[in-house]
Chains A and B, each alone.
Chain A
């Protein structure tokens, strides 16, 4: 299946039958797939007038307790920032997929990874975080998409996927059947479905009294501490022994690095890969531990260096951290990574 279409199908399999979106390259295929698929499953598909409207419709729809989601790409995600701040402040579960393209501004329609900071730190005003999953294959997109709904409901917080144009457009085999899905929790204690036989529910984000305001923020911070403790996900490759160099990459660039590692092995150079799967919560403890058995790190990203800051943060200055990146829609080839590693090793 095409990556974009698989994401849509995965949501439906997770019982998320409410999709509000706006077209934008390179993810419009999600809409084009779901407009035909949603009626089959009795779901809601609505193309809104803008990403602003789509994200705000998510707030209204999520308030009813149903699973809802949207997909967009970088410029559209910028437009959704306001609504994401409101949705998070209201403790509503939604899933949002960013099929990242080159930026900033209109940028380009080819893949990019320069929304790392946007997703992990800058997704709207105020003190909040969203879980950010970084799939590196179509199958992983499906699994993380279904997990996203589970975590969004569990923590009552938006959960996002940072995919990119390459994964969105590529076609790979997908298995939906072996992905386990627990039932959604009961949301009737807070959802707005009509105040029959109970006190009215109010979903709001305004706290004029600073005592209330601080309490709401502290509760959210406590929620994030639980997520940071329990939901970190990562993967390592060829790091079972101490290494001179550990590559760090996420998403499709991790696959480029995998090929680079194979090429280097043929030349007798052993290098490993650390692939964060959750960009937030970032696997800081795991990376800090890795610094004990690794001489240096090389972050490879399709940006001017965004995840590399988190790596520097994680290793706490114990080992040097280098960066190699391409921008504007350029995708690094494995040979470029090989050359960069060899340069660092003085070969």
Chain B
């Protein structure tokens, strides 16, 4: 090959990931790595890993990393960013980490306008612990702790974090995208790049919610999982830009 037009970017290590076949964590990790390299931010970036399937995400990035307690990544990131505002700080969190136990930490970090970036991977289920119901699990969706389907009369409707955090008065960049098809992947990279640009320019808190797949716990093949995102997740979790720092109520 004379010219490589697509290859691993330096921010990613060459370790083979522990993620399941077809898990879109691998795609999202790579997009973050590409953005950090394209914006020249890798060498002053510190990442905060969650508890969940991506607890080991630090093995796949050539970046300083902290391993946070469950849900507390936004508090870790607040500590990092306030003490060293020159660092680029990002948290990478799943739905249990961000929307359940960490609901308060992300709410207040966003409300204070902490200038770090959060990548929120929403796959409507708890992956690492074996497929339990998440606050983002869809009505009727079968999980190990909702074996007859999520009953909204009993446990309420799924939480839409992008919409929720967009109601805060503090300026922020909040967007929701998907990675279930090529177009979604390209949109996700654009959103992640926009998010890190806002941080690089010291403007505001940024969050990108990425609708992702969990083939193993959904009990589907990777290809069918991508279809399920389109047919079931996208109607409830509508992709789009929910807030930019320019449009503050």
Contact = CB atoms under 8 A, between A and B. Distances in A.
Interface of A: 18, 20, 44, 46, 48-50, 52-54, 56-64, 66, 68, 82-83, 86, 90, 192-197, 200-206
Given A63-B79, A192-B65, A203-B67, 10 more contacts: A48-B78, A49-B107, A50-B104, A56-B68, A56-B76, A58-B79, A60-B75, A82-B69, A194-B87, A204-B65
Given A50-B104, A194-B45, A203 B65 contact: yes
Nearest to A54: B75
Interface in B52-101: 55, 58, 61-69, 72, 75-84, 87-88
A20 B44 CA distance: 23
A219 to B, nearest CB: 18
Nearest to A67: B83
14 contacts: A18-B83, A46-B78, A49-B107, A49-B108, A52-B104, A56-B69, A57-B82, A60-B77, A60-B79, A63-B80, A195-B42, A195-B45, A201-B64, A204-B65
B48 interface: yes
B133 interface: no
Interface of B: 42-46, 48-49, 55, 58, 61-69, 72, 75-84, 87-88, 104-105, 107-108, 112
Contact of B65 (A64, A68, A202): A202
B126 to A, nearest CB: 17
A49 B149 CA distance: 34
A64 B72 contact: no
Nearest to B89: A60
A196 to B, nearest CB: 4
B64 A192 contact: yes
Question: 7 closest pairs, A vs B, by CB?
Answer: A60-B79, A61-B79, A60-B76, A56-B75, A57-B79, A194-B44, A204-B67
B19 to A, nearest CB: 16
A200 B72 contact: no
Given A56-B72, A193-B87, A194-B87, A46 B82 contact: yes
Nearest to B107: A49
Nearest to A57: B79
Nearest to B116: A60
Contact of A64 (B69, B87, B112): B87
Contacts of B107: 49
